[in-house]
Amino acid sequence: MDVQPTPPTRTRLFREVVWHLLFALATVAVLVAGLRLESADIRVPFAYHGDALLILPLVKATIERGSHWANERFGAPGIQELHDFPIVDHLHFGIMWLIGLAVPDPFAVFNLFYLLTYPLTTLSAMFVLRRLGLSVPAAGVGGLLFAFLPYHYLRGQGHYFLAAYYVVPLAVLVMVWICGGRLPFFRREPDGRYRFRPWSADTLAAVLIAAATASGGAYYAFFACALLLFAGCYGWAVAGTWRAFAAAGLVVAVIVAVGVANHAPTFAYQYHFGRNSAPTTRYPEEAEEYGLKLTHLFLPVAGHHSRALAEVRSVYDSDVRPLQTENADATLGLLGSAGLAVLLAAAVLPVRRVWLLGPLSGLAIFAVLLGTIGGLGALFNLLVTPQVRCYNRVSVYIAFLCLAAVCGLMDWAFTGRAAWLRWPTFLALAAFGVWDQTDNRWFTPAFAANRAEVATQFRADAAFYAEVERTMPGGSVFNLPFIPYPETLSVGKLSGYDHARGYLHTDTMRWSFGAMEGREVDLWQREVAAESPDRMLPRIVARGFDALLIDRRGYSPTEADALHGGVMALLGPSVHHVTHPNGQEVVYDLRNYRDRLRTADPIAYEQSKRRELEAVSILWLDGFYSFEPSGREWKHRWCGPRGVAVIVNPTDRTRTFRVDAVVRTKNPEYADLQIDGGPVWTERFPINDKNPVTSHVIVVPPGRHTVRFRCRLPGGHVYDDPRRLTFFIAQWAMTEVSADTTR
């Protein structure tokens, strides 16, 4: 099967560029009309809630600092470092950085990059479809419809980088090459044999596409690797040589190598500071929860323009329907569904396959088997790693394969007969496809009305935080309620990232929100936030905080009133404070309160500062799980067969502690527990379900010290939980026996 097009002449190349640009402009025209962008203020984010508030700080840091990896204005009194929660979409960050050179406003860049993903997707999809032999109208319409998948706008600016799937068609191009016997890293000689040739145009193209895939989203890279390996098997069968699989393996190796390079800051950081599994804990069963449903692929989009189709979808989306998660965004539309039906039929019916139906059908079926609930992805998560949980996202690959099939078949139908109908037919197909794939908000005032509502909240926040910064430029603010970072769904009525708004609207201030879960600052914040106001305020001013922000929406009305009352009782009725126009957020100035503490007893104040700064931390980094409320994790913590903790002594002197804890299993039979922390703490003793409180003396030199826990249960024990919970540590307490410091 030869899918290599004839090399274009200069005139043909010019025409190709013009046609690509025209379809990109058509995409922009549909986007402007559909979203009513003529009324949009590009300096106000289109989305300003949920995960959009996770991404916006990353965009701002990239524009202002050139990198999103560390941010000294988040995570006070420390620095936010994302190495435990790596976001490695460096291709997208690079494009945003370039946009920022011309438009330095991070909110404008946030919007512009999102809008740019539509014409970029059209261009890449059209380019690939032309390489696969489709005519200009077929390729252009296929690209346009791929850009307007429901998946694209339903992910929107919340799942910001998932909406940037413009690299996917390029990865599919390499897969089709390999399926058809056109092998990167190998050249087919006139005698039909393949010889290893690492330097060729195809190899260079495959390497560049692999590098872009690895840098354009971890999920899309993972799916590309899986599909490439299938393509290698398919190509092996077609070409009759193992070199097809070798070529696929080499492309996968490039993706993996570039992916490892993208994660290099994480590997370096965790080598020095220990692997922290808390921010990225995943479970094998999540592959089922976030798996693909074949039904969703065929069903129309929710809120379809057609009342009849909207009702079909609404009936399916009942409250009792199981496993309705983000997989509902996988809708292909009627044309994509027709393409999927054709590809499934081509795979199982004994019919002659034309064009590229064979490779497209094989890839589509493998993608469905990989992503579907209870499919190959669920097995991979159980047997290999659960880190890839949202298999429904493979629907983007399926969508491209299906649109390529349906557009290709229609294009083939016009070959040599009624060719003059090709353009009007595909233009009508484009109009129908856009109507079918967009929901009933498109081409109405709905998006503009939503943007107006977002703009009102955005501008109110901007005015509030501007006043806070004017009052205390360069100040440091402690956020309440405490919200763990990242991936906390909600606290009260607050989303997991609502506290990020302070950073977004200020230029000099530091905020406690954003400390990485499981690290020292996070543990300190949890502990302090759980204190009563009379214990909390002295501790936070001792760590250098100038202000306290309380957002009532994170508490019940009774809790909020009690907290505000306790704070006001300590600060006094005349304390300076700034109240948000919504009446829910208040920032209290703590500087006078700190001066009063310092003046009343300078020695006690300095001792409290020293106590806070010199407190020894124990980080339960890998293998430990706590189900206690925030700030009370010390009460009970489970561990698997192996666990890693790190004891951090921030001072320059060796310190001795007595550790009191209950260490038990659930079983009456004794298990063997080994603690290996070198000279800091090394012990071995039996434990069962009745072990009493035990005491251990540990000596902690300056610096960080890794302590490894290993527990072997009696023979015959079978785990029934993916975490393999083995033993627990309860009522943990560390008391310094050589100085007046307690942890």
CATH of the domain at 682: 2.60.120
130 and 228 fall within a common domain: yes
pLDDT bracket for residue 193 (50, 70, 90) = confident
CA angle in degrees (0–180, nearest 5) for 612-613-619: 85
Q: Is the Cα dihedral 616, 622, 626, 631 positive or negative?
A: positive
Please tell me the predicted confidence (pLDDT) of residue 723: 86
Q: Quick one: CA dihedral 677, 683, 689, 694, positive or negative?
A: negative
Phi and psi of 548, rounded to 5°?
A: -130, 125
Residues 175 and 136 in one domain: yes
> Do 531 and 654 lie in a common domain?
no
Reported as a single tens digit per residue, the pLDDT across 122-136 is 999 999 999 999 999
- CA angle 549/551/557 to nearest 5° reads 135
Domain span at 370? 10-35+85-437
Residue 506 lies in a domain: yes
Domain shared by 123 and 231, yes or no = yes
What is the distance between the alpha carbons of residues 65 and 680, in angstroms, rounded to a whole number? 40
CA 321 from centroid of its chain's CA atoms: 26
Q: Are residues 666 and 731 in the same domain?
A: yes
Choosing from 564, 595, 613, the residue where a domain stops is 613
Q: Which residue has the higher pLDDT, 629 or 292?
A: 292
User: How is residue 14 written in tokens?
Assistant: 């010019």
Considering the domain architecture, whether residues 623 and 603 belong to the same structural domain is answered as: no
In a domain, 51, yes or no: no
- Whether residue 444 is contained in a domain is answered as no
Contact 506/577 with Cβ under 8 angstroms?
Answer: no
- Domain boundary at 437, 468, 502, which? 437
pLDDT score of 349: 87
The reply to whether 251 and 324 lie within a common domain is yes
The answer to whether position 561 is within a domain reads: yes
- pLDDT band of 7, cuts 50, 70, 90: low
Task: List the one residue out of 741, 490, 732, 706 whose CA is nearest residue 628.
Answer: 732
- The per-residue pLDDT for 419 is 75
Residue 470 lies in a domain: yes
- Torsional sign, CA 450, 456, 457, 458: positive
One DSSP character per residue, 211-269 reads HHHHTS-HHHHHHHHHHHHHHHHHHHHHHSSTHHHHHHHHHHHHHHHHHHHHTHHHHHH
- Same domain? For 621 and 651 the reply is yes
Nearest to 710 by CA among 644, 611, 620: 644
- CB 400 within 8 Å of CB 176: no
Q: How many whole angstroms separate alpha carbon 382 and alpha carbon 120? A: 36
Task: List, for residues 389-410, the tens digit of each pLDDT value.
Answer: 999 999 999 999 999 999 999 9
Q: Where do we find the tokens 């570039």?
A: 258
Peptide bond into 679 cis (omega under 30): no
pLDDT (0 to 100) of residue 340: 97
Report in angstroms the alpha-carbon separations of 223 from 81, 252, 389. 28, 11, 12
The residue from 589, 613, 637 where one domain ends is: 613
Cis peptide before 650 (omega within 30 of 0): no
Is 70 a domain residue? no
Rounded-to-10 torsion of CA 478, 482, 487, 489: -130
Look at residue 1 in the predicted model and tell me its pLDDT: 38
Does residue 442 fall inside a structural domain?
no
Q: Are 300 and 164 contained in the same domain?
A: yes
Q: What is the torsional sign of CA 258, 263, 269, 274?
A: negative
Q: Which residue has the higher pLDDT, 126 or 718?
A: 126
Residue 90 contacts residue 262 (beta carbons within 8 Å): yes
Do residues 393 and 464 share a domain? no
* Mean pLDDT of all residues belonging to the chain: 94
Q: HEC states along 444-479?
A: CCHHHHHHHHHHHHHHHHHHHHHHHHHHCCCCEEEE
Number of domains in the chain: 3
Please give the average per-residue pLDDT across 359-368, as a whole number: 96
Neighbours of 729 (CB within 10 A): 22
The answer to the question of residue 80 being in a domain is: no
* Residue partners of 667: CB distance under 8 A and separation at least 6: 688, 689, 713, 714, 717
Whether residues 665 and 584 fall in one domain: no
Per-residue pLDDT at 355 = 64
- Whether residues 650 and 597 share a domain: the answer is no
Q: Is the pLDDT of residue 113 over 70?
A: yes
pLDDT band at residue 727 using 50, 70 and 90 as cut-offs: very high
- What is residue 609's predicted lDDT score, i.e. its pLDDT? 94
Angle between helices 557-571 and 533-542 (to 10 degrees): 60
